[in-house]
Amino acid sequence: MLTPALQTARLILRPLGLVDAPAIQRHFDNWHIIRNLSVAVPWPYPADGAESFVRLQLDRIAAGEEIYQWVLVLRDGDGEAIGNIHFRPRMQSSKGHRGFWLAEPYWNRGLMSEAIAAVNDFAFGPLGLDQFDVCNVATNAASRRVKQKTGAEFVGFVELPHHNGETRSEKWVVRRETWLRRSQP
């Protein structure tokens, strides 16, 4: 299944494309974002980091890997990518299935919680998943809050090195039954 476009009240989540590389490079090359990410992400971020990232993801998708890659775009904006969500629904790993980042000027507006709600609807609707795992570095309070607001349940800790020097990550599970119960009026 190709990455579908999703919409929320304020956002369009559209499939990642090469056209997004310049905006990703501009927003993502930011220590305040990268410090909370796994050391798998290069730092200092290379000048061609976003283009390399996008090409790699598009190659994986073209090769049939089950990965969904969305960029977040403001509905009333200029179409520029302001964030990214990746989702690997059937990945067998203790490191989680979904990751995200949002450009710093858009923090603390509830945008990521709104976007994650749309991804959860996709995971438990069209994909028919029963549950999936997500993680965040233990000191990332904003990421923790997104998980709490979108129905994730804390299950423990895993070890994963991050750029900020931490190795302890919180592990959460997002369950279909919990999500569907929360999303009912």
The pTM (predicted TM-score) of the whole model is: 0.94
Q: Per-domain residue ranges for the chain? A: 6-130
Query: Which pLDDT value is given to residue 45?
Result: 96
Instruction: Tell me the per-residue pLDDT of 97-126, one tens digit each, with 9 for 90 and over.
Output: 899 999 999 999 999 999 999 999 999 999
- Taking residue 141's Cβ as centre, other Cβ atoms within 10 Å add up to 10
Query: Which pLDDT value is given to residue 22?
Result: 98
What would the 3-class secondary structure string for the chain be? Answer: CCCCCEECCCEEEEECCHHHHHHHHHHHCCHHHHCCCECCCCCCCCCCHHHHHHHHHHHHHHCCCCCEEEEEEECCCCCCEEEEEEECCCCCCCCCCEEEEECHHHCCCCHHHHHHHHHHHHHHCCCCCCEEEEEEECCCHHHHHHHHHCCCEEEEEEECCECCCCCEEEEEEEEHHHHHHHHCC
Query: Which pLDDT value is given to residue 53?
Result: 97
Give helix 49-62 / helix 21-28 axis angle, nearest 10°.
130
The amino acid that residue 123 corresponds to is A
Query: Which pLDDT value is given to residue 1?
Result: 75
Residues in the chain where the model's pLDDT stays below 70 = 92-96, 183-185
Query: Which pLDDT value is given to residue 90?
Result: 82
Print burial letters for 1-37: b (CB count within 10 Å at least 16), e (below 16): eebeebebeebbbbbbeeebbebbbebbbeeebbbbb
CA angle 140, 127, 155 (to 5 degrees): 35
Sequence-distant (6+) residues with CB within 8 A of 15 are 2, 3, 4, 5, 69, 70, 71
- Taking residue 164's Cβ as centre, other Cβ atoms within 10 Å add up to 15
Domain 6-130, second-level architecture:
3-Layer(aba) Sandwich (3.40)
